A and B are shown apart, each in its own frame.
Chain A
């Protein structure tokens, strides 16, 4: 039996889906440790010990000054280029919801593509609903080999992926659009983009919460025999890659 990799779950004040993602990682075969801002202030090296890095969802720093923005500034000050180093060592990184917003603000996903941002939903409202996601990248280590659609909830007010046409086209042509909304785009994201990866394919950022669909019973239609799209495979992929 292979050794379970360890994931560092980075949290800030206001991060709130750390427990949810810890369960997903556990079921996918990884252990996790929660690493807070104050842990990093004490010793930023703790991050180097992890085989995978997760930035969990929530409202870091209350989303004051823009979603994920202060968390990104803090991580830049505390980590320097440690996340880039992790990528160069082949370690998978995932940022979910507020974690995606944070990764975008840090510029970890824009390399080779250009500026991008997550704007207010087209409706102007926070929205909690289930969505269907089509995995669409073989470059992304998290989505490659997944051919069935995933189903999981969104819960965000600022998830509208925004970039100009040239940036989107570069993302498309380099196989970096990892997840697309199908059967309805909940927030007005350009090209129905729900998640993208970086040039290496190791870093995935996505707005929806696959960590909330890791057992079949969590699907809202589990009583209607029409439930599918278990999202655990996404985490299994990450764990497999981290174990390699």
Chain B
């Protein structure tokens, strides 16, 4: 026992108003609680084994006296007091850094832990206090708290040791299905009965019991998250036909397109492309949906960290990050939230802060993204994180060779993230937030930055590399040992705190770790020492095709790597294909559904729609400038407040670059998943072509967030979407190079209602920008210039924002335009030719919104001049595919018309007057449009 007297805590308060206080009070009021006047915030630091004569030395370490006041063991002032402290083992950079520097400076202290104290002034009821704590101040996944009494700090070094004996389960041919299911439930294996039977038979044939760690490892390896069972499944549709496995369709499409710039696709951690000799790019996007639902900051934070490691694991130096976020509506009533679900505003705040924290600290520009809002994301928000990397040497993939050492480097191993892969493959319920605590963690971007420093430019130091993601060492070493075999000893691994059982070490999903196969460890270890990266040799690749894991010499895993990777039975699934109505809408039908529209007022309402409205308040939280290579930024225009279609990265001294664009439209997906897929590939293509990328060089990523594939209609939508992806890829000659699926994005609330996300396919397009100086942005440049519409506008409103605004369900989803690929190529040539002053793709909200966005971004007006006989009300708002609006100089009009013929239509011209004038005599001022578009949030 440590005498209580040696435990001290200090409070750290801002002298001026702490910026957290204002936003906390706003958030309390947003919960509908008006009885709170103010909340004072103080940081707490609990310290063990310090003596009072070291207080002043400690103060000089933790505080800036001009800005902060330090108190020691200070009683709370008044009001309702809530104290929080981190749960033992949660990443605590403040405490860790304090301990490190304090020891270096000779201050004696054994343990430190951070917390927070909130003093609430006002008269909240106990129920209101409980709501404030749970919704705003503490997350049970990472913190404990106490109300009106001191919180008890729990130090990781005190945490109880886990049982370290190896458990065994005897499985024979006589083991019944019921027994197997009980076992699956006991160990949360998330395997179905067919898979459990294969495991049983394997061990029955081996003639020995299954070790608990082996079962955990099989469960991880065979999880939906790691093995993509649905994408590899044998799927039978409702007309009795069997479709080619989805992953095979995508791969075959890529193979048949046979694009010269694809270096590697659908293998390893990321897709690899090359546009110039000796330069390759790695590109990857991932989801981190379930973790972000229960701990928004940590979930998004580690999502970013994970996808960056994918790029490091592809031997590329990360250069930029992207993200696509889907949330519930910000104005959703608190009282209607399902149990255990955070309010969308709080999820958004946490997710954005988590992304900003990781990206800004690791020093990568966060350049592209999208934010979508829908009721379908209330309980199951979606967080897609992407990363792009560069390498300046030939891309070589090598397998570990017998005799290579198994080296782990980076962060320490703790209990964090246990069973993340199986967790992410299960449907969430109201208790998930409580039981899945160990599945979430907070990242440490600085450690990962050091990994980039060591590995990003040291390809010669190792033979092969894999990141530790879902499944931890089990998955990373398991993958690398496939067909080779490895023998590793776990007891030497640096741990965050003692007491971990072997299975916990083997399966820990502690962040910021990489595994490398190395023939000669000395040069790598020397590089690690210089950068302060921990590394350890834990064993070797053997050549016997078995994976043997020992802990202090005792075998905890001994498994045939072929069984591990190829033993899983193929899933058999049934799909009911969607049968969407694709008959075009007539003018009369439009009028009867939408009534007579006030074009100007509708445009303003569309501009204010959360999906269309300005995202500036989020974009500015991310450093998009670092590296100096963000040539077309996410935010552009005369006042730097417009939004770009795509972004372009070009090194400051390089004559070329790459463009990145995103396509996503779940509302079309609900109605017609096949057409949706074509439409979002088309949108991603438009976004890169619009900024100056060559459409012949587009590489695509597919990221599917879907509901439960066991539901035949849900699976049918997935089958239709994959088919749409393949059709679109072929039409554009744009191959998929990597992808990821996140299924089971569903939620059972305590209301027993099943909540599923809308079918959300995110397409990321990356392409070559051959001439960096020729890039184009959508902000209008000069009065007198002419606006030209490219492409055809049809009366198609399924999934459109006009339909959403008017609560119109169904309808026909926009069709793919077979002429689009040819159009995009011509547009690219016109851009290179200098004929295009600005360019904007037409998407959400249609032509009206596109023109408004160009006008606002350039602070210039537009006079729309199309013969009113040629257009109908729907012309303004249709979201038909394949269209752009160009701004061209008067002298370039002839050249554009020559190239595009009837495909190009003059629709107006740019004026200095700060007004957009419509054909019907209505007009909108830039100011009123900005007021709607920028709103207050």
Contacts and interface: CB of A to CB of B under 8 A. Distances in A.
B781 A70 contact: no
Contact of B360 (A77, A155, A163): A155
Contacts of A66: 62-64, 68
Contacts of B621: 125-128
B361 A128 contact: no
B279 interface: no
B459 to A, nearest CB: 18
A130 B68 CA distance: 29
A18 B93 CA distance: 23
Most A C-beta atoms less than 10 A away, residue of B104, B450, B626: B626
A182 B624 CA distance: 22
Contacts of A211: 628
Interface in B699-754: none
A65 B625 contact: no
Nearest to B68: A66
A61 B652 contact: no
Nearest to A104: B64
Interface of A is mostly: mixed
20 contacts: A13-B532, A16-B626, A23-B653, A36-B532, A59-B445, A59-B446, A64-B96, A64-B97, A65-B94, A65-B98, A66-B68, A73-B101, A117-B64, A126-B360, A127-B620, A128-B619, A155-B360, A155-B626, A217-B772, A218-B631
Interface residues of A, number: 55
A151 B629 CA distance: 16
B652 A65 contact: no
Given A62-B97, A155-B626, A215-B653, A16 B362 contact: yes
A69 interface: yes
B361 A155 contact: no
The 9 closest A-B pairs by CB, nearest first: A16-B363, A124-B19, A64-B97, A153-B625, A117-B66, A155-B623, A59-B361, A14-B446, A212-B628
B105 interface: yes
A36 B531 contact: yes
B396 to A, nearest CB: 25
A23 B627 CA distance: 10
A62 B628 contact: no
A120 B531 CA distance: 30
A180 interface: no
A120 B19 contact: yes
Interface in A19-38: 19-20, 23, 36-38
A42 to B, nearest CB: 9
A236 interface: no
A223 B626 contact: no
B458 to A, nearest CB: 15
Nearest to B366: A128
Interface string B520-558: 000000000111100000000000000000000000000
Interface of A: 13-14, 16-17, 19-20, 23, 36-39, 58-59, 61-66, 69-70, 73-74, 77, 105, 115-117, 119-121, 123-130, 153, 155, 162-163, 209, 211-215, 217-218, 220-221, 223-224
Given A126-B621, A128-B625, A16 B67 contact: no
A64 B95 CA distance: 8
Contact of B625 (A121, A124, A155): A155
B844 interface: no
Contacts of B636: 220
Contacts of B97: 61-62, 64-65, 70
B781 A20 contact: no
Interface in B434-482: 444-446, 449-450
A153 B361 CA distance: 17
Contacts of A128: 619-625
A224 B67 CA distance: 42
A5 to B, nearest CB: 21
Contact of B101 (A58, A74, A120): A74
B22 interface: yes
Contacts of B650: 217
B625 A212 contact: yes
Contacts of A116: 66
A117 B67 contact: yes
B361 A14 contact: yes
A62 B633 contact: no
Contacts of A65: 61-62, 94, 97-98, 101
Contact of B361 (A62, A163, A217, A223): A62
Contacts of B529: 38
Given A13-B446, A217-B773, A73 B61 contact: yes
A99 to B, nearest CB: 14
B16 interface: yes
A195 B771 CA distance: 36
A228 to B, nearest CB: 15
Nearest to B629: A218
A141 B16 CA distance: 34
B627 A19 contact: yes
A38 B531 CA distance: 7
A167 to B, nearest CB: 10
Interface in B1-46: 14, 16, 19-20, 22-23
A217 B631 CA distance: 7
Nearest to B530: A38
B889 to A, nearest CB: 13
